[in-house]
Structure 1
Amino acid sequence: MKKITLGALVGVVGFLAFVELTSGFIQGYYTPMLSNIARHLDVHDADVNWLEGSQLMLSALVVPALAKLGDMVGHKRILLWSTAITALATLALPFTNSFALFLAAWTLQGVYVVWLPLEIALIWSRSRNMEDRSLVTARAAGILVAALELGAITGALLGGQLIDTLPIMTVLFVPGILVTICFFVILFGVKESPDQLGGRLDFVGLSLISLAILAFTGGLSLLRLNGAGDPIAWGVVLLGLLLVIPFARWELRHPDPLIDVRLFRSPALAPVFLTAALFGMSVLGAQAPLSTFLRTDPEVYGYGIGTSGFVTSLAIGFYLISMVIGALLYPRVARLLTPRLALVVAACLVGIGYLLFVPFHATYLQVVLNIMIAGIGSGALVAALPAAAAAAAPATQTGVATGLTNSTKTIGGAVASAIFGFALLHGISGGPEGGTAGSFSGYLTVWLVCSISAFVAAAALLFVVPKNAFQDHPVEKVAG
């Protein structure tokens, strides 16, 4: 068995750090300019949530299939395919001038969310001969997330600077170049995972879960458009939930299922998936509201900070720096407390950070301090959840398990995006008639939902997960 050294970690992570740097750049670059994109496309600030929600919906659809394909035909191969799709979609954004076309390209760009689960599966596979395999994976995940957040910081700062000085179509061209470079880095620099299971993809299961997700998220979109009193919208949401039943029955009978639903019975894995869904509400659903709140002019609307694009990117940069700190601290805290308690602490920090927004949101400093507290917990969770799933999953389903953390996270983000978009769009007040800012009551809803969901996740981790979960020799991995 090899011991954990810096050289061993670099050998495991390798060029994957650049992939996450690119992923972070994509996630950070657009955030300071979301209000500019809304003005360019002649839509309301609340409509920015359509971009977020549609990308999250696609992510929830493709991650299970791509993660399973990674286990079957090779994680590097699927990583390369997904990067090619992301590059094409990103390069298309500067050439679209309508909201519908921009939304289509933006949605397709969301394939990049499968990168981190595939990378964690690669790392888990390649670290099989090392001591403390789960700790190696956790530390490597911390390095990847640090690279991700470094990329997000760079992207946010550069995006905020460029949007104040250059035409928006020129600004939108930059990420496509970086993703294209990333494709060749993966092609020539990343080694394939040694274990490939082969087999055939469960297309029936994929179709059933796709219909369920489409119906569920489509119903949420109808609720946002038509209001909470629309019975048709609620019916579509219910249909999406009910479609999970035939999917689960099919998967239980299938010899090589797309998603082994028995994983959701695991005392160790089920709370991880629940935590990922609840965490997704803040880390994914709250990004656009944070940016638009910072950009809202308090002299016109009576709330907001009124920052420029670059100053907005600085606030986002502080948030991302705190995520780097959280990601790098997690392995140390996990060794001191146990991984389970470290996850509990991280979720509580997210809850506290967003709860502080309710009384403290009047100044730039208050907003930055709040998001940095939440950011430390968020960074730890981004790094820890895929690693925890890999440690608790069966050896043949690491890709599926890590992919499920992302799928449940994106579903949580999609739900939150619909809720937040509805809350921000309705009850607009405090500004001139026809104003484009979201309502203050909507922002309160965003902060409270993010806080409550994080505390619920912490409670699930504390009271449901076995005490020795996510370590190298858990007592029970999957109940079945």
Structure 2
Amino acid sequence: MTQRVAPGRVSLGMLMGVVGFLAFVEFTSGVLQGYYTPMLTDIARHLHIHDADVNWLEGTQLMLSALVVPAFAKLGDMIGHRRMLLISTAVTGAASLVLPFTDSFAVFLVGWALMGFYVVWLPLEIALIWSRARRMEGRSTITARAAGILVAALESGAIIGALVGGALVDALPLWIVLLVPSILIIVCFFVVLCGVKESPEPTGGIFDTVGLVLISLALIAFTGGLSMLRLNGPADPLSWAVVAIGVLLVIPFALWELRCADPLIDVRMFRSPALGPVFLTAGLFGVSVLGAQAPLSTFARTDPGVYGFGLGTSGFATSLIIGVYLIAMIVGALTYPLATRLVAPRIVLIVAAVLVGVGFLLFLPLHGTYLQVIVNMVVVGIGSGALVAALPAAAASAAPHTQTSVATGLTNSVKTVGGAVASCVFGIALLHGASGAVADGTAGSFSGYVTVWVVCGVTALVAAVLLLFVPKTAFTDAETPVVDLVP
């Protein structure tokens, strides 16, 4: 039986219950993403590592995330999105408890990497909402609105996390500061356990273990090669060979998936004129939204009196920059569903990508004062917020109904791979600089920061160009017929 409900009524009524609980999950995710950023320099000193080595933390977490998301997204479609949400929350909480009690870089790195399980939360939540909205009219609009609410919650958590983290790190021992997020994750687990209902009608099926092994080998080789490049430098041929092996291993994975009756990832989705550019945009967007986080923080903390560049900000002052950036992301996320009422979602995505590119390129002439950096980050933030909300919602609306979680998860997976590549490139650039000379002291090189700004700006503009090739009616309810569901 088909149930048709007005989109406005659904978004405020039937969906708000589940969105409210899921918003707390995204609030927690935001805290995790914002809380640690102002203290990355303090963590580096605690672990006795160079500022450029902070990118190891980011890179390893992104590597693990790239492996986790495809598996958890598929399992979410098969056995339930809530169930996989609970498992990923439990793993994230356990890993967070490692950080306060070690000063070993290796142990800290493992714990930090395992916390990367939280990246699967948003795609699972979007898929859960989409699965409930399948019986309603206007579900693309509903999902877009829900995504905006979730991303607003995420960025609100990131703002509060950044402000609280920046204030606490200036006042308390680091181990106490690192313990705070663990408490919130434990609360988050029980919120999901008690407040979120399972998605209706999981697809079932047999898990594609062979596909998971093949894509895992490809990602491990690819990201492992990137790690070797960071260690050995860009001139090392063995590192490049390992990267190439990782890329080539995608071929047997794709061939297997095309033959598999119930594939882990339906690679045909990459051929879709609507989904293909979205996945590519997600990868290019990951360069800036994931790969540039640590460099932006360490640039702000760098003392200009010693190194001749940077802002020399304290932990709290750095958190204020992050807070303004995240407020801009909230504005972008909430503006996205409103803007799609006036113009096609495709146009909104293009404008958002252009804003990210322009914002980063503004750093080239404008990086010497606190105000200049704030202005740049506002421009980047508005575009980034719109893209964070739009990409998974767009993927859900364009994907086959049996692949909703996989499609939304793929936006995160591809974004994560883009961030992992950028993290490696930026780490090398900051450590060695454009001239190849290792940066003095513990600060990154200025030419390395210029590389970060240029790469982030150009990749965002390339994404905007790719989106021009998306069909004009993509991501709209016109392309998404109502599905009959038996209550």
**Per the shorter chain, which TM-score range?**
over 0.9
Q: Which residue does 1:322 correspond to in 2?
A: 328
Q: Which runs of 4 or more aligned residues in structure 1 lie more than 3 Å from their structure 2 counterparts after TM superposition?
A: 431-434
Q: Which residue does 1:102 correspond to in 2?
A: 108
Q: Are 1:473 and 2:478 an aligned pair? A: yes
Q: Are 1:303 and 2:312 an aligned pair? A: no
Whether the 8 Å contact between 2:15 and 2:129 is mirrored in structure 1 is no
Equivalent residue for 2:454, pick from 448, 457, 475: 448
Q: Which residue does 1:178 correspond to in 2?
A: 184
Instruction: Give the letter for the 1:322 counterpart.
Output: A
TM-score, normalised to structure 2's length?
0.96
1:49-448 equivalences under 5 Å are 49-427=55-433, 434-448=440-454
Q: 1:197 Cα deviation (Å)?
A: 1.1
Q: Which whole-Å CA distance do the structure 1 matches of 2:35 and 2:281 have between them?
A: 27
Q: 1:474 Cα deviation (Å)?
A: 2.4
TM-score, normalised to structure 1's length?
0.97
Q: 1:227 Cα deviation (Å)?
A: 1.6
Whether the 8 Å contact between 2:286 and 2:416 is mirrored in structure 1 is yes
Q: Secondary structure at the match of 2:479?
A: coil
Q: 1:433 Cα deviation (Å)?
A: 8.5
Q: 1:428 Cα deviation (Å)?
A: 9.0
Whether the 8 Å contact between 1:15 and 1:185 is mirrored in structure 2 is yes
Deviations 1:99-155 (A, max 9, x none): 000000000000000000000000001112222100000000000000000000000
Instruction: Give the letter for the 1:118 counterpart.
Output: L
Whether the 8 Å contact between 2:430 and 2:439 is mirrored in structure 1 is no
Q: Which whole-Å CA distance do the structure 2 matches of 1:266 and 1:475 have between them?
A: 15
Deviations 1:70-95 (A, max 9, x none): 00000000000000000000111101
Task: Go from structure 1 to structure 2 and tell me whether the alpha carbon gap of 1:437 and 1:193 turns closer, same or farther (over 3 Å shift).
Answer: same
Instruction: Give the letter for the 2:168 counterpart.
Output: L
* Runs of 5+ consecutive residues of structure 2 not aligned to the other structure: 482-487
Q: Which whole-Å CA distance do the structure 2 matches of 1:279 and 1:237 have between them?
A: 21
Instruction: Give the letter for the 1:76 counterpart.
Output: R
Q: Which whole-Å CA distance do the structure 1 matches of 2:15 and 2:75 have between them?
A: 26
218-227 or 242-251: which moved more? 218-227
Q: 1:167 Cα deviation (Å)?
A: 0.5
Q: 1:332 Cα deviation (Å)?
A: 1.1
Instruction: Give the letter for the 1:467 counterpart.
Output: K
Whether the 8 Å contact between 2:55 and 2:427 is mirrored in structure 1 is yes
Q: Secondary structure at the match of 1:291?
A: helix
Deviations 1:286-315 (A, max 9, x none): 000000000000000000000000000000
Whether the 8 Å contact between 2:431 and 2:439 is mirrored in structure 1 is no
Q: 1:475 Cα deviation (Å)?
A: 8.7
Instruction: Give the letter for the 2:351 counterpart.
Output: V
Q: Which residue does 2:484 correspond to in 1?
A: none
Instruction: Give the letter for the 1:409 counterpart.
Output: K
Q: Which whole-Å CA distance do the structure 1 matches of 2:334 and 2:166 have between them?
A: 26
Q: Which whole-Å CA distance do the structure 2 matches of 1:393 and 1:157 have between them?
A: 38
Identity of aligned residues (%): 71
* Structural RMSD (CA): 1.5
Whether the 8 Å contact between 2:18 and 2:197 is mirrored in structure 1 is no
Q: Are 1:457 and 2:463 an aligned pair? A: yes
Q: Which whole-Å CA distance do the structure 1 matches of 2:112 and 2:106 have between them?
A: 10
Equivalent residue for 1:40, pick from 36, 40, 46: 46
Instruction: Give the letter for the 1:326 counterpart.
Output: G
Q: 1:338 Cα deviation (Å)?
A: 0.5
Task: Go from structure 1 to structure 2 and tell me whether the alpha carbon gap of 1:120 and 1:475 turns closer, same or farther (over 3 Å shift).
Answer: closer
